[in-house]
Structure 1
Amino acid sequence: MVRVSHSFLLLSLLSLAVEVLGTDKYTRDDFPPGFVFGSGTSAYQVEGAANEDGRTPSIWDTYAHAGYANGDTGDVACDGYHKYKEDVQLMVDTGLDAYRFSISWSRLIPNGRGPVNPKGLQYYNNLIDELIGQGIQPHVTLQNYDLPQALEDEYGGWLNRKIVKDFTAYADVCFREFGDRVSYWTTVNEPNVFAIGGYDLGIAPPKYCSPPFGLNCSRGNSSSEPYIAVHYLLLAHASTARLYRKRYQGKQHGFIGVSVYAYGFVPLTNSMEDVSATQRAQDFIIGCVAHPLVFGDYPSIMKKNVGSRLPAFTDHESELVKGSTDFLAVIHYITFSIKDNSGSLEFKQRDFNMDMAAKIIIERDNSSEGLLKPWGLQGVLEYFKQVYGNPPIYIYENGLGQRNPGNSSLEDTSRVEYLQAYIGSLLNAVRNGSNARGYFQWSFLDVFELLDGYGSNYGMYYVDHHDPDLKRYPKLSAHWYSHFLKGGSINSTQVMKLEKITSVTSVSTLNSV
């Protein structure tokens, strides 16, 4: 294990904030040969058909129907279940190399275990075949916040060790049925944020929390359950990876990984207290997943601060988890400043954030710099390079959310500026030796979002929910990304040029950009 001085590393990352790292002019040819560019969605956010063809509810259905997502649900979403051919054609028109999506466990295996639903199997086979037939590489996530409600009701889902066996059996079905055409698998999506949101703060499914840390939860223990959930998520991933490598990888020649939500963190000040707090934040937020995957155990500061509330890996489990990824998928949107909060450790009752003893400063800044901190992505990739041995990395989510004004504007100039800056920062990281191998913009369509349903959007394509056919319209960002993917030079004048064509909503205009 390579040891890096924490203070030196974090101060080096902080220096990125004052450098001009946004690449002003580039093309996709500046990236290495084979570098993959795509976009993504997830099952509950895009498919709809929530009650059709044998699908049963997931914990996300339950959460949404309780009114926690702005009163919206994914019952219809973008109706990707019926409109997948149209959407794949949009991907072709845009010029995507790859598409990242997730499989709905409760659509494929409605009871969580047991018989496979033939209609669900047919849908995913059709989607994968359509992608492959159009030359688009599928990247598949097995679980994205949507555990079958049947398993949650039966034994508590991710809080029970039984989930490891059931998840592995579900993955086995996916590998067996789809692995001849799918080469890139991620097991669970952002287990770190899923555990914090779902089991500490109670702001995500399955909405477990306890006072004073979470609000309006009817069950849960914020002091211990986030750690239990992360532990079983890691063990389920490791068990699944072992199965894949033993039974499928040799003949299917694919790769398996897990995604990590990675904020950019920099110290609020140059004080050693804030620098140390920033390292704690990295160890808790990123390290709770990445450390076991690379080194076989949780970071020492987590074990010290959490104590007996943090589950321990047996020697066998440690060996199973360590090295269980062929790649890491990084999810990154934003960079925060960190302030020391060591005083929180004096409290007897603590949750994840208090154990971390670091305060995340949410800056209320409406300037362009408040939104555009592309150096944060380069800092995250540099951190993975220096601390975790520079593993192969795919950026599986990166994008800008905007409040939906009702009639969503197609001239999403700020999103274009965001993508231009962050892809430029990614290029800088690659030039600096990062082993990043792909980038996926989030999201392809305006999908159902976790926290506020249709109240915000990240999509390159606007979906008109007032239209019975849910017609898709390309935004400025779709034109910009298409221009980039098809080899066009990226610079600030290109944004102004593209703004002139957003009033033309025909998808065919993508081919003329």
Structure 2
Amino acid sequence: MVSLGYSIGLYPPNHCSKLFGDCQLGDSNTEPYIAAHNVILSHATVVDIYRKKYQVEQKGMIGIVMNTYWFEPLRNISADRLVVQRTLSFSVAWFLDPIIYGEYPPEMCILLGSSLPTFSIEEKNKLENKLDFIGIIHYSTLYAKDCEFSQWDFNKYQWLWNASVFFTGERNGIPIGVPTPMPLFHVVPYGLEKIVSYVKERYNNTPMFITENGYPLGSNSNVSTEDLINDSRRVE
């Protein structure tokens, strides 16, 4: 949501550079990373409060929920295989690496340089509280293609442009999975297993919950109530 609000201006506060959308204000090169930095520090502050004031008595757990895509290389070349890992760093690891390890992913540090905020010693100390679980939202998988800025396709869905990635739901005109009424949402069941495995391995088997997963339906008066209740495509 940070990228959609501060990179391409699709969601409030509708900030972006002119190149990326019809925004009155914004800087797509810096604002998404400042906003995300504040989200991470807000998480650390809340965890700190919960650990000190409530967790012992309540015996509860505290974590963060990540909206995730899985990515497959568009072409069978090393550049696209590498861009898959880079794209995951600019999405999932962007938030979880600082929370778990106290630093942003190396790929982000290399590509963004001074545009990426840094953590003070005090902030790193607060980040040491980490979390008890990771929540996973996952709906679909996309193809990722390595590309230069000049080759980039400027449209409202390409929110990870700083990763030098173009993503798409098709290869040679063939969808990666059964299309749905929402653009870039396809039925790709294996993607859920792959993103869970990625998070498991990168973050030392931290407990996970699948907090959101499903199938988007468009408005269609021809669909019967029985079919809507049965909801077989969501089960698939």
**TM-score, length basis structure 1:** 0.41
SS of corresponding position for 1:311: coil
Of 139, 143, 165, the residue aligned with 1:358 is 165
1:217 is matched with: 23
Counterpart position of 2:81? 275
Structure 1 position 299 matched with structure 2 position 105: yes
2:65 is the counterpart of 1:259: yes
- 2:155 match: none
Q: Map residues 58-77 of structure 1 onto 2, 5 A cutoff.
A: none
Give the letter aligned to residue 69 of structure 2.
Y
Cα deviation, residue 291, structure 1: 0.8
TM-score by length of 2: 0.86
State the 1:325 CA deviation: 1.1
Q: Distance in 1 between matches of 2:60 and 2:223?
A: 39
Q: Which structure 2 segments of 5+ residues have no match?
A: 153-157, 180-185
Tell me how far 1:408 sits from its aligned partner: 6.1
| C-alpha deviation, 1:353, in angstroms | 2.5
> Retained in 2: the 8 A contact 1:260–1:286?
yes
Q: Contact (CA 8 Å) 1:261, 1:331: kept in 2 or not?
A: yes
- Between Structure 1 and Structure 2, the one with more strand by share is 2
Identify if the C-alpha distance between structure 1 residues 319 and 345 changes in structure 2 by more than 3 Å, giving closer, same or farther.
Answer: farther
Per the alignment, residue 4 of structure 2 pairs with: 197
User: 1:313 and 1:408, CA in 2 relative to 1: closer, same or farther beyond 3 A?
Assistant: farther
CA-CA distance at 1:205 after TM superposition: 1.5
Deviation track 1:342-369 (CA, whole Å, cap 9, x = no partner) reads x22999xxx9623201111132757964
- TM superposition shift of 1:217: 1.5
Check 1:253–1:345 CA distance in 2 against 1; reply closer, same or farther (3 A cut). farther
The answer to whether 1:246 aligns with 2:58 is no
Report the Cα distance in structure 1 between the residues aligned to 2:76 and 2:230, rounded to whole angstroms: 31
Q: State how 1:427-506 maps to structure 2 within 5 Å.
A: none
Structure having the higher Rg: 1
Deviations 1:171-218 (A, max 9, x none): xxxxxxxxxxxxxxxxxxxxxxx11011111111221112101x2212
What per-residue deviation string (whole Å, max 9, x for no partner) do you get for residues 40-62 of structure 1?
xxxxxxxxxxxxxxxxxxxxxxx
Deviation of 1:246 after TM superposition, in Å, equals 0.1
* Counterpart amino acid of residue 228 in structure 2: D
**Aligned to 2:149, which of 325, 329, 344?**
344
3-state secondary structure, aligned to 1:220: coil
SS of 1:275 mapped into structure 2: helix
Percent identity of paired positions between Structure 1 and Structure 2: 32
Which sections of structure 1, spanning at least 5 residues, go unmatched? 1-193, 422-513
Alignment of 1:146-185 (within 5 A): none
CA RMSD of aligned residues (A): 2.4
Cα distance 1:414–1:200, how it changes in 2: closer, same or farther (>3 A)?
Answer: farther
Separation in 1, partners of 2:192, 2:60: 27
User: What residue is the counterpart of 1:396 in the other structure?
Assistant: 211
Of the three residues 334, 349, 352, the one matched with 2:140 is: 334
Distance 1:207 1:333, change over 3 A: same
